[in-house]
Amino acid sequence: MDQLALLFVLLLGAVVSVPLGDRWALPAPVLMTLLGIVLAVLDFVPNVNVPPDLILPLLLPPLLYAAVRRTSWRQFTANKRPIFLLAVALVFVTMVCVAAVAHAIVPGLPIAAALALGALVAPPDPVAATAVAGQLGLPRRLVSILEGEGLFNDVTAIVLYHVAITAAVSGTFSPWRAGLDLVLSAVVAVAVGLALGWGANKLMDLLGDATLQIGLTLLVPYASYVLAEELHGSGVLAVLTTALFLAEFATDPDDVLTRLAGHTFWDIVDTLVTGVAFGLIGLELHNAIRTASGRWAEMLGWAAAVAGVVVLVRLLWLLPATWLAQRLHARRDHDEDIPMSWRETVVMWWSGMRGVASVALALAIPLTTDEGAAFPDRDEIVFIAFGVIMATLVVQGLSLPWLVRRLRVRADTDREKDFEKELAVRAAKAAKRRLREIEAEEDLPEELSEQMARRAFDIGLRISPDIGEDERREAHEHRVRRLRRVRRIQGEMLSAARHEVVAARSEPGADPEIVDRVLRHLDVRSLR
């Protein structure tokens, strides 16, 4: 099996893991990691030869962009306090604690190298957290916090990692220089993200075509990441800024086709890239086995100790941080998402799985220092990092569904239905307002006005049937049954038309481009 065949196996596994995960109630990223482990122990499967410095630029931009599309700027601003406590403060505390333990238990490990290890295992993986949380029916506030933490902790961890690596390679460290680099990295990233977001928004208006616009959204995250890194900024923060800008300002409510096609496209990209990323994590078992040859007991002990520190620090930090957030939330009327019980706090604690970023940072550790000497204890650091990733991702990922069921942490469906009902009422009222404006501008027949008024009300009823009285709801249900029958008949008619057009494609003299053009018209008509 060569590298290309291995990639196709991972892509196929990414597709198959989704329905299997739904059937077995297991997160798809965990299944892909297990698949990678199985492939890693097979003799005929080659080692992965992806350059370490390409893993983050290839995998993170589309994953981050897809994750941001599910959030909004309001969520980030409303949750800035819990996000700061988790994404900045917790990452820093975890890095320091891991560094202290690793420096103490690994003989001869310099403090700078220990800090690099702490930085690369500190950030919980945003892809794993959101993928797992999304399948378990957790309360939306928990999902929002996990998404915000996952998106911003990579920014903090990567900057701290680069500072630690620089100190280990050069042998010098300046706290003031490190703080300045952190600030400059953030400023450059935000500037690049805003500039590319603004430019992409203008270019989308110029392109017009849905296919070209969606293609541009695939290129923009990569451009934002690479440009920010070239200017010594944070590529992760630049992608977040660009994605948030486009989500806020590049949305046309009337561009239905682009929105539907774009949603489908990014679902596909998210599924495939996530699968490949977590499959690569499992495949790295090759290198871990080679590193630990002859020293299994000693190195497994180090990895277990660091994994224990990572898990324990998160719990010990979350308990007071959640209490503080609840106290501040009770004193001030902030529209923020916080855990509302100890059960939700426990679920948040157990959701701190490590993943793609940690693997990429571990593999990106330089081989030598500036003086030409070997990077201190590089093999040991990579093995410990891999052990932490596997312990958190596999153990926590496999047990998290059981823990959620055991603690009975579920989404507040009543609140979600109430909000859905509120949106349905607002949508129906907006339709009625526009109808009254049209009636004032145009002379509509009475029969047409009544029909349009019913349809305006039906807009809300189709979203949330609970908003109508019994009589009107029954009338609506009658119209819906009639409409479904009409649509079924019309669908069969359009299906016959499509079959006829497709059959014409194989006829002598048929122009396939014209056939596809006619077929597209029929497809759009079917969609409507």
Provide the pLDDT for residue 471.
52
How far is the C-alpha of 339 from the C-alpha of 131, rounded, in Å?
Answer: 19
Task: Kindly give the parts of the chain with pLDDT less than 50.
Answer: 333
Residues 226/228/233/235 CA torsion (nearest 10 deg): -60
Tokens 């029969």, residue located: 447
The torsion region of residue 209 among left (phi > 0), alpha (psi -120 to 50) and beta comes to beta
Among 144, 143, 131, CA closest to 78:
144
∠ Cα 387 389 395 (to 5°): 90
**Cα dist. 295→44, 110, 289, 300, 302 in Å?**
25, 20, 10, 8, 11
Asked whether 206 and 31 are in contact (CB, 8 A), the reply is no
Residues 289/290/292/295 CA torsion (nearest 10 deg): 120
Residue 288, judged by CB atoms within 10 A of its CB (0-12, 13-18, 19+), counts as buried
368, β-bridge pairs = 374
Write down the pTM of the prediction.
0.78
Amino acid at 324: L
Amino acid at 411: A
Provide the pLDDT for residue 476.
64
Please name the residues in contact with 491: beta carbons below 8 A apart, sequence gap of 6 or more: 526
Other CB atoms within 10 A of residue 500 CB: 11
How far is the C-alpha of 490 from the C-alpha of 483, rounded, in Å?
Answer: 10
How far is the C-alpha of 38 from the C-alpha of 13, rounded, in Å?
Answer: 12
Give 322-336 pLDDT, tens digit per residue. 777 777 665 554 555
**Cα dist. 259→134, 214, 265, 424 in Å?**
21, 9, 10, 20
The torsion region of residue 101 among left (phi > 0), alpha (psi -120 to 50) and beta comes to alpha
Q: Where are the alpha helices (DSSP H) in 231-355?
A: 235-249, 256-283, 285-291, 296-331, 342-350
Provide the pLDDT for residue 231.
92
374, β-bridge pairs = 368
How far is the C-alpha of 157 from the C-alpha of 164, rounded, in Å?
Answer: 10
φ/ψ of 152, rounded to 5, equals: -95, -20
Asked whether 103 and 109 are in contact (CB, 8 A), the reply is yes
Among 58, 13, 21, CA closest to 38:
13
